[in-house]
Amino acid sequence: MKNIAIFASGAGSNAKKIIDHLKGNPTIQVAAIVSNKPDAGVLKIAADENIPSYIIDKENFFRGDNYVKLMKDLRIDLIVLAGFLWKVPDNLVQAFPDKIINIHPALLPKYGGKGMYGHFVHEAVIAAKDPESGITIHFVNEKYDDGATILQEKCAITPDDTPDTLAKKVQALEHQWFPVIVERLLT
C-alpha cells in the first residue's frame, strides 16, 4: 500500500478530490491530513473520511525533525501540498527528495514565490493582462515554487474575466488534474 499525506491550510477542496479519486484504488491511500490551522475545513473532511489528522505546531515544524519522523513513522510515500501556505522546511524536503509535490494556481515560473498564492496570483495575472493562466504541478525543493514541473495545464483569459472568475477556471483545472497526477506518481 502506498501512503499519501496531504498538507492543507484551507477548505480542502483539492484534498477531497484526491481522496474521492483514490477511493477505487486498492494500492494507494490517503494516510494523513496535516494542517497548520486548527479550524481548517480540510480537518472536517479528514474526520468525515476517517483519515487521521495532525495539527502542525509552527515552532516544531521549522525547528527539529519531528515532522520528518512523523512522515517516516506513517510510511508516507508522497507528500501532497494542496493549498498549504507555509514553506516546507529544508529538512523535510531533504528527507523526501522528489516525494513532495505542490499545485500552484498559475503557469510557473510566472507569478510564483513568497506571498503568491490564491487571490494574489489571480489579481496579478489579470493586472498583467495575460492571455492565459492555468496550473503548475511541481516537485518541491528548498525554494518557493521552484521545483521541477510535472504538469502544466492552461485556460484562456477573456477580457471580462475577474480574479474571481479566473479562480474558478483555475480551480476546475486543479480538480481535474491534481488527483490524476497524484495517482500517476504512485503507480
CATH number of the domain encompassing residue 56: 3.40.50.170
Determine the Cα–Cα distance for residues 182 and 97; give it in Å rounded to an integer.
16
DSSP state of 152: E
Catalytic residue among 104, 119, 122, 175: 104
Residue 117 located in a structural domain? no
For 128-134, what is the mean pLDDT? Answer: 98
pLDDT mean across residues, the chain: 96
**How many separate domains does the chain show?**
1
Instruction: Determine the structural domain holding residue 73 and report its residue range.
Output: 2-104+136-150+173-185
Phi, psi of 57 (to 5 degrees): -90, 120
- Asked if 119 is an active-site residue, the reply is no
Residue 79 located in a structural domain? yes
Q: Grid coordinates standing for 146?
A: 521552484
pLDDT at residue 60 is higher than 90: no
pLDDT of residue 32: 98
- Distances in whole angstroms, Cα of residue 2 to Cα of each of 74, 138, 182: 11, 20, 11
Give the chain's end-to-end CA distance (angstroms, integer): 11
